[in-house]
Structure 1
Amino acid sequence: MRRIHALVLFLAASIAPGLSPAAELSPDLPPEAVLREAYARMRAGDWNAAAEAFDPAALARFRTMLEPLFVAASAPADAKGQENRDAMMLMLLFAPAQSVEEVRALSDRELFARLMRGTMSLAGASLDEQVILGNVAEGRDLVHVVTRNTARMDKIVVSKVEAVTLQRTPQGWRLALTGEIEGLAETLQATAEAGRQPAQDAPPPPGTP
């Protein structure tokens, strides 16, 4: 849950106010314009459109990171008839999906959009302010855009400086996955893998052969 809260704060704090989604993310848009457009789409709640601003290769990697959760969610109920908790979590995060097969059939973009929408619904967050401070180029195909973000979640106000990475792709400049987003996938992955570990058998009583 702490990882989800951090992600919500990052996303909410990164949405630039007063922007309307453009008709398209053209290949010639500079990095800062792509970043502003991406978060304008997030603020509008259009996560499918926002996913277009991310590097397709990064979204494919994101799907791979979630595979352990899909596997765990496919397991049947246990011997006591208890429901699969991973399956319940999957349906919560990827609503309105009704099955693991339905989630797996989603495109990389839709999968990402569903998870972001589901994560944001778990906690209320609002943007106070975002200021883009500048950017730092790393070679020809990588740019880090530096922003100062202030966000509010419940009664908590957070202000911090973020560096958002964008890389050049055949589609133009696109966002790389943030550490918070990758961390969320890793947390879900670790939770699912831990749930599949067999329980330790109790040691035999003394004198048992």
Structure 2
Amino acid sequence: MDVTAHPLALPFRRKPPPRRFTALLLGAALLTLAGTASPLCAQRLERSDPASVAAVFLGSLQRLRWETLATTVDGETVAVFREHIRSMAEHDPTGRTARRALGGAEAAEAAGWTDERFFARLVESLHADVPMLLGVLATNTYAPLGEVREGEDLVHVLVRTTPYTNGSTASSVEVVTLRRAADGWRVIEAPALDAFLVALGTFAMG
């Protein structure tokens, strides 16, 4: 599979979306706020509802439930991470770097895993190895604001993210993008996925 066209196949540190674009999305989302906003405590995964999938994705981040989180991620997004592991194995003949990223498993073994097993194991290893980088994802508060549909197969869910800081009320609006897959909606792009790529990049740098 050619993953070079995937949004996450860009350099690790990507520029945030233009403020004007985010503002337009926010304005449109607020028009549908009453009908789409839902608490993250509702963790039952409804693949027919993108907002529900996004809520499970974000709730799994807060609870560090990597196996559940993996069920929400798009297969082509997982393919980007698989390509990074393949590249690691190719450039490190000892296999040590890939094993570190896969919790001790060999890259060749992981190639045969399901997407969900692969992604859950990878993120679990990343969190264990780079806790300060990914731990912030669990301490954030996520409040869905609404959604904006782009055609029939793409939905942008807007989320107000508030970091845990002493006495601060600073927050930002982030976008979780989902695509319709054969079995329902899946997350294809999100700030947390970018953070996972950054963490994986630290493995490659030793």
Tell me which interval the TM-score lies in, with the shorter structure as reference length. Answer: 0.5 to 0.7
Instruction: Give the counterpart letter for 1:21 in structure 2.
Output: Q
Is 1:60 the counterpart of 2:85? The answer is no
Provide Cα deviations, 1:115-143, integer angstroms capped at 9, x if missing partner: 22222232243424222222111111111
Cα distance change on mapping 1:40 and 1:179 into 2, 3 Å: closer
CA apart distance, 1:36: 0.7
Identity %: 25
CA apart distance, 1:168: 1.1
- Distance in 2 (CA, whole Å) between partners of 1:140 and 1:21 is 24
Larger radius of gyration: 1
1:113 aligns with one of 88, 96, 120: 120
| Corresponding residue SS for 1:53 | coil
Matches within 5 A, 1:32-71: 32-71=51-90
Gaps of 5+ in 1: 5-15, 77-85, 196-209
Q: Which residue of 2 aligns with 1:168?
A: 180
- Distance in 2 (CA, whole Å) between partners of 1:190 and 1:128 is 22
2:50 aligns with one of 12, 31, 42: 31
Give TM-score, length-normalised by structure 1.
0.62
Matches within 5 A, 1:16-165: 19=41, 21-22=43-44, 25-28=45-48, 30-73=49-92, 75-76=93-94, 87=96, 89-95=97-103, 97-121=104-128, 122=130, 123=132, 124-125=135-136, 126-152=138-164, 159-165=171-177
Instruction: Give the counterpart letter for 1:107 in structure 2.
Output: T
Gaps of 5+ in 2: 1-11, 14-37
Cα distance change on mapping 1:48 and 1:158 into 2, 3 Å: farther
| Corresponding residue SS for 2:164 | strand
Instruction: Give the counterpart letter for 2:142 in structure 1.
Output: Q
Q: Aligned pair count?
A: 166
| Corresponding residue SS for 1:136 | strand
CA apart distance, 1:69: 0.9
Conserved? CA contact 1:69–1:188, under 8 Å:
no
CA apart distance, 1:112: 1.4
Structural RMSD (CA): 3.6
Q: Which residue of 1 aligns with 2:22?
A: none
Cα distance change on mapping 1:118 and 1:189 into 2, 3 Å: closer
